[in-house]
Structure 1
Amino acid sequence: MTKLKIDFVSDISCPWCAIGLSALEQALDHLQGEVSATLQFQPFELNPQMPPGGQDIGEHLAQKYGSSPEQQAQIRETIRQRGAEVGFDFSPAGRGRIYNTFNAHRLLHWAGVEHAGQQLALKKSLLQACHRERQSMESPEVLLASVREAGLDEQRAQAILNSAEFTDEVRAQEAFYTNSGVHSVPAVIINDEHLISGGQPVAVFENALRQIAAQLALNESGPRP
């Protein structure tokens, strides 16, 4: 079995990251027995300057992309359908508002450092709170509810939110991936070398991972005498 290290660079507020993660998980399920993967979540902020209180999502998308309400509704339905294909339920009404996600990334970093086995559960809970339940990603209560759902220590998480702990580490990781050429998410990086960009369908992830694993196995076997 080939072992892979997967860094999933993403933002909580990105719907395509929710789709990509669900598809990647299904692809890994299909590859059981062929591939063993260690999945780590890395921070990326689509809107690092978002002020407290957030912004209406329609207003935000119009300012950022110049999209009309009709275009936004069409994209929202496309996202909903793509999510349904991989088992992720989006709110039909969309997110409502978009918020700063830095504190969520600090908690994810903490989970990755101190409770790596529960980082995935925290990530999925945050994505569901944002995209299915339309909750505020800057709200300490919402973040702590996801911590509880993931089975993590709520008091420890509260202490992190009340401090600047992991701020420098998250900023450093964000800078690392941005400087490495990651400017859109999700960016799925395999063994620090191979990049799969975007919320791809299950088959795309499955085929790419199988090809990477096969090449690694061939390299490890070396030339025949």
Structure 2
Amino acid sequence: MKELVIDVYMDTSCPWCRMGTTSLLTVLKQLPADKKATVRWNAFQINPGIRTEGEDYRQVMIGRLGGVPQFEARKKQYNENGKHFGLKYNMDLVKYTPNTTLSHQLISMAPEHLKVQLIEKIYTAYFEEGVNIGDVDELVKIGSSIGVGDAANLKERLTQGEGLEKVELGQRNAQKLGVRGVPFFVINEEISLSGLQSPADFVKLFEQM
């Protein structure tokens, strides 16, 4: 049976990406023993022009969505949709729209066996605890807490730009694929899925492969 190679294009500040990642990982844990899957995580920044220090989340979203009522409705939408995936969104705690470059660098630096745990930790920090995941010190805390490296070493590597090349490569590959939004999934470099997919969607597809 052919191995599944799944390229995931995602951003760490994207609520839908968190749901989509959870959906995919739930299904992968249930794959039959004779079907193997490799996941490759690719950086895609939904807000590439955000200042390094981040910008006011409320203002950014109101400007993007067209008003306060739309913003409040969108926050409720995240909570309601998140429940279907067993996820919690405390969007009232989120104060920053972060520049996610450093978080993607950290993911690229992490050993393969820690990447999923790290991604989930970053999502939890941002969406449930309101942590500014664009802040290098906050990211260092997250990374060191699960053994990616010691704090001082991680901070030095991040500030010196380690992993930046991989982040930029993800952006270029996404551009070549015509990715306009995330999550975006490419299966065995053949089948592309744009947007949030339910576990049932993934199961149906994988059964055909």
Fold shared, TM-score > 0.5 on shorter chain: yes
Provide the C-alpha distance between the structure 2 equivalents of 1:185 and 1:94, rounded to a whole number of angstroms: 23
Give percent identity, aligned residues only: 25
How far did residue 94 of structure 1 move? 5.7
Any idea what the Cα deviations from partners look like across 1:155-206, whole Å, max 9, x if unmatched? Answer: 4422212202222332122112112211100001111121121122221122
Decide whether the 8 Å contact of 2:94 with 2:127 is kept in 1: yes
RMSD of Structure 2 on Structure 1 (CA): 1.8
Which range is displaced more, 180-189 or 28-37?
A: 28-37
Q: Which has the larger radius of gyration?
A: 1
Does structure 1 residue 172 correspond to structure 2 residue 190?
no
| Residue from 156, 161, 172 that aligns with 2:158 | 161
Unaligned 5+ runs, structure 2: none
Decide whether the 8 Å contact of 1:2 with 1:34 is kept in 2: no
Give the structure-2-normalised TM-score.
0.91
The aligned runs of 1:188-199 (5 Å cut-off) are 188-199=185-196
How far did residue 92 of structure 1 move? 4.8
Decide whether the 8 Å contact of 1:3 with 1:37 is kept in 2: yes
Provide the C-alpha distance between the structure 2 equivalents of 1:20 and 1:149, rounded to a whole number of angstroms: 25
Provide the C-alpha distance between the structure 1 equivalents of 2:25 and 2:86, rounded to a whole number of angstroms: 11
Decide whether the 8 Å contact of 2:26 with 2:199 is kept in 1: yes
The alignment partner of 2:52 has SS state of: coil
Aligned to 2:74: 75
Provide the C-alpha distance between the structure 2 equivalents of 1:210 and 1:94, rounded to a whole number of angstroms: 40
2:136 maps to amino acid: P
Aligned to 1:87: 86
Which range is displaced more, 1-10 or 96-105?
A: 1-10
Aligned to 2:197: 200
Provide the C-alpha distance between the structure 2 equivalents of 1:94 and 1:3, rounded to a whole number of angstroms: 41
Which range is displaced more, 25-34 or 188-197?
A: 25-34
How many corresponding residue pairs?
Answer: 208
1:127 maps to amino acid: Y
Provide the C-alpha distance between the structure 1 equivalents of 2:107 and 2:51, rounded to a whole number of angstroms: 21
Which range is displaced more, 140-149 or 28-37?
A: 28-37
Provide the C-alpha distance between the structure 2 equivalents of 1:65 and 1:179, rounded to a whole number of angstroms: 27
2:137 maps to amino acid: E
The aligned runs of 1:140-151 (5 Å cut-off) are 140-151=136-147
1:181 maps to amino acid: G
Unaligned 5+ runs, structure 1: 214-225
Aligned to 1:105: 104
Does structure 1 residue 123 correspond to structure 2 residue 119?
yes
The alignment partner of 1:158 has SS state of: helix
The alignment partner of 1:138 has SS state of: coil
